[in-house]
Amino acid sequence: MNCLCGSDKTYNECCGPIIDNEIKASTPEELMRSRYSAYVRGYGEYLVLSTTKENQHVEDAEIIEEFSNSVEWLKLDVIDAFKNIVEFKAYYKEGKEIKVLHERSNFIFEDGVWLYADGELYNSKIERNESCPCGSGKKFKKCCA
């Protein structure tokens, strides 16, 4: 089975060892993918710890876990990864509605590890003719729209 982040590797070959702190993410994209997988699993503590120190708020872990566990994560699309910036779309189902989180994330290399610094959110929606994020293979307009 492919990793939660959508790579061709298994979770134990991809995001699992990064989340379990067995290895460090070697690129911002690897860190972003592991953070997506952590959202899918509801690992709020990892998400807090993989953020720059000035943006770490321990109390956020519980809020992140509540949100992560209240939605069904569908898929991740990496749009672009260049130097320390990764743009992605993360699709999730909240109730009966499919939503998209579209972000351009900034990462920094600090003390020998990549960390999430911040990101710019875009007001994106799923286009009618896109493939449905649910994985049916149908167009969105003929599926979950």
Supply the CATH number for residue 59's domain.
Answer: 3.10.450.50
The domain in which residue 116 lies consists of 11-142
Average pLDDT over residues 86-114: 96
Q: Confirm whether 3 is domain-assigned.
A: no
32 CB neighbour count, 10 Å cutoff: 27
Quote the percentage of the chain above a pLDDT of 70: 99
Amino acid at position 135, single letter: G
Angle of CA points 105, 111, 119, to nearest 5°: 10
Query: 108-118, pLDDT tens digit by residue?
Result: 999 999 999 99
- pTM of the entire predicted model: 0.93
Q: Confirm whether 51 is domain-assigned.
A: yes
**Predicted local confidence at residue 58, as pLDDT:** 87
Q: Confirm whether 5 is domain-assigned.
A: no
Q: Confirm whether 31 is domain-assigned.
A: yes
The answer to whether residue 1 scores a pLDDT higher than 90 is no
- The number of distinct structural domains making up the chain is 1
CA separation for the pair 137, 17 (Å, rounded): 31
Q: Confirm whether 82 is domain-assigned.
A: yes
Distances (CA, A) of 145 to 25, 99, 100, 131: 36, 10, 13, 11
Q: Confirm whether 1 is domain-assigned.
A: no
Q: Confirm whether 55 is domain-assigned.
A: yes
Query: 39-54, pLDDT tens digit by residue?
Result: 999 999 999 999 999 9
Sign of CA dihedral 31, 37, 38, 39: positive
CA separation for the pair 78, 91 (Å, rounded): 11
By DSSP bridging, strand 97-110 and strand 72-82 are: unpaired
